[in-house]
Amino acid sequence: MRTYASRARAIQPTGVRKMFDLAGDDVVSFGLGEPDFQPPPVAIEAFHRAMLDGRNKYTTTAGLPALREAIAASWSHVAPGMGAGNVCITMSGTNALLNLFMTLVNPGDKVLLPEPYFPLYGPDATLVGGSAAYYPCRFENAFVPNVEELEALVDDNTVAILYNFPSNPTGGTIDEAQRDALLDFARRHDLWIISDEVYDRIIFEGSHVSFLGAGYDKVFVVNSFSKTFAMTGWRIGYIVAESLEHMKQVIKVQYYITACPNDAMQYAVLAAMEQAADYPDVLSTEFKARCDLITDRLNAMPGVQCHKPKGSIYVFPKVDVPGMSSEEVAMEALADGVLCSPGTAFGPSGEGHLRFAFTIGRDDIVRGMDLFEATLARLRG
Ligand SMILES: Cc1ncc(COP(=O)(O)O)c(C=O)c1O
């Protein structure tokens, strides 16, 4: 009997949505990694105007040159001299990731992926016929990988490593010394680096440390406007690389995935970058206040230990309820009106953790923490 391709059968629906689908409307939701803001009004107006102006057609495969230039310029502090040719606008960060797996990974190749992970990475490797080897990002090391553990995983079939800082789900970030060590590891083994930096503008302390402009040319940075400008539904992201040669391959592949990005939407994103340039900082300031609030509340609860992230929109506390799995704890919290994700939705080492996305207002965070504290008190006896 004819059936579906093995790549489709080999992947599973994501577990992240499972709790969400079970939840009613009246829960306090720390579930989805989606900012609770709207895009800047200038962007919405520019989108409307662009459509009225007839921007309803195919664009060039890599996207609008003016937007590509603006993105390249936004990276000039780390990688000066880049231009439109270094950027490919994609239909979301999700799309950018799949493009890079298709561009860089052959069937049978191995890719090193973080664990706990953003749940797309492994299925992306599977979809292109590759395999994943997961490197640990441990709580004890503030979720930063250890190079010795990476060395133990790499072999002749390994072609790429994916880094994700600030991280979903852990909120882990790196400093320059850690970045250099991780970059040297990739260089030593001639690996491509796919650096998922979609939270680069949501930084609470110091500045974002990128793999771009750090002296290694096999680096592709994935980014997205979803979180930065609260445009998750607009589906615009991009890939940037210092090497024009490498970008040519990405752009070639993009044509066969999606032909080109959405025409009018790119004018809207450009307007956001040019006329609402401080918007990501406004969001980031609010996320920092929420992050302080939620980590302080969690750390005051018996049985909970939580790092205070230096970026992202997530905390990933260790939650100790003897005899119960993280999924069972999350289900009990849901029964009390709080939606959070079990750590195991992000890989096996998420056992004993929960992920809270602080994508709700501060009053709701307080309400949710009060409820969660009562759940824990009930479960821990
Ligand atoms: C780490 C990470 N990478 C990529 C994405 C994809 O972003 P989008 O497809 O909305 O651009 C997300 C979204 O949650 C994410 O958390």
Alpha carbon separation from 79 to 49, 141, 180, 213, 273 (Å, rounded): 33, 29, 16, 5, 18
170 CA → ligand 1 middle, Å: 14
Query: Residue 112 C-alpha to ligand 1 middle, in angstroms?
Result: 18
Mutate to test the pocket of ligand 1, among 225, 226, 341 (most ligand atoms within 8 A of CB): 226
pLDDT at residue 261 in the model: 97
Q: Which of 96, 219, 112 is nearest to 159 (CA)?
A: 112
pLDDT at position 18 is 77
CA of residue 232 to ligand 1 center, whole Å? 9
Taking the C-alpha atoms of residue 71 and residue 153, their distance in angstroms, rounded to an integer, is: 35
Helix (H) or strand (E) holding 127: helix 121-127
Asked whether 231 and 137 are in contact (CB, 8 A), the reply is: no
Task: Categorise residue 303: left if φ over 0, alpha if ψ from -120 to 50, beta otherwise.
Answer: left
Residue 237 β-bridge partners: 90, 224
Distance CA 299, CA 317 (A): 9
Question: Dihedral, CA atoms, 81, 87, 92, 96, nearest 10 degrees?
Answer: -110
Q: What is the pLDDT of residue 119?
A: 95
Ligand 1 closest atom vs CA 92: 11
Strand intervals (E) in 265-339: 304-305, 314-315, 318-319, 338-339
DSSP string, 27-73: SEE------SS---HHHHHHHHHHHHTT--S---TT--HHHHHHHHH
pLDDT of 21? 81
- Domain layout of the chain by residue ranges: 6-39+279-380, 57-275
Residues with CB under 6 A from ligand 1: 33, 92-94, 118, 164, 168, 196, 198, 224, 226, 232, 237
CATH topology for 57-275 is Aspartate Aminotransferase; domain 2 (3.40.640)
CA distance 359 to 351: 23
Pocket test for ligand 1, best of 94, 120, 238 (most atoms within 8 A of CB): 94
SS3 361: coil
Tell me whether residue 276 is exposed, middle or buried, using C-beta atoms within 10 angstroms of its C-beta: 0 to 12, 13 to 18, 19 or more.
middle
Could you identify the atom of ligand 1 that is nearest to the CA of residue 164? 1
How far away, in angstroms, is 198 Cα from ligand 1 center? 6
pLDDT per residue as tens, the chain (381 positions):
899 999 999 998 887 777 778 888 889 999 988 999 999 999 999 999 999 999 999 999 999 999 999 999 999 999 999 999 999 999 999 999 999 999 999 999 999 999 999 999 999 999 999 999 999 999 999 999 999 999 999 999 999 999 999 999 999 999 999 999 999 999 999 999 999 999 999 999 999 999 999 999 999 999 999 999 999 999 999 999 999 999 999 999 999 999 999 999 999 999 999 999 999 999 999 999 999 999 999 999 999 999 999 999 999 999 999 999 999 999 999 999 999 999 999 999 999 999 999 999 999 999 999 999 999 999 998
Residues 234, 227: Cα–Cα separation, whole Å: 11
Candidates 247, 279, 197; CA nearest to 68 is 247
- CB of 225 within 8 A of CB of 231? yes
| pTM recorded for the entire structure | 0.97
> What element of type H or E holds 279?
helix 279-299
Asked whether the CA dihedral 180, 184, 185, 191 is positive or negative, the reply is positive
The pLDDT of residue 69 is 98
What is the C-alpha to C-alpha distance for residues 363 and 371, in angstroms, rounded to an integer?
13
Q: Quick one: which H or E segment has residue 346?
A: none
pLDDT (0 to 100) of residue 19: 77
CATH 1.10.3720.10, applies to 6-39+279-380: no
Mutation probe of ligand 1 site: the residue of 16, 17, 170, 198 with most atoms within 8 A of C-beta:
198
Please list, in sequence order, all residues whose beta carbon lies within 8 angstroms of the beta carbon of residue 118, skipping any fewer than 6 positions away.
Answer: 164, 167, 168, 169, 196, 346
Q: Establish whether domains 6-39+279-380 and 57-275 are of one fold.
A: no
User: What confidence score (pLDDT) does residue 1 get?
Assistant: 87
Instruction: Determine the straight-line distance between the first and last CA of the chain, rounded to whole angstroms.
Output: 55
Pairwise CA distance, residues 128 & 377, whole Å: 46
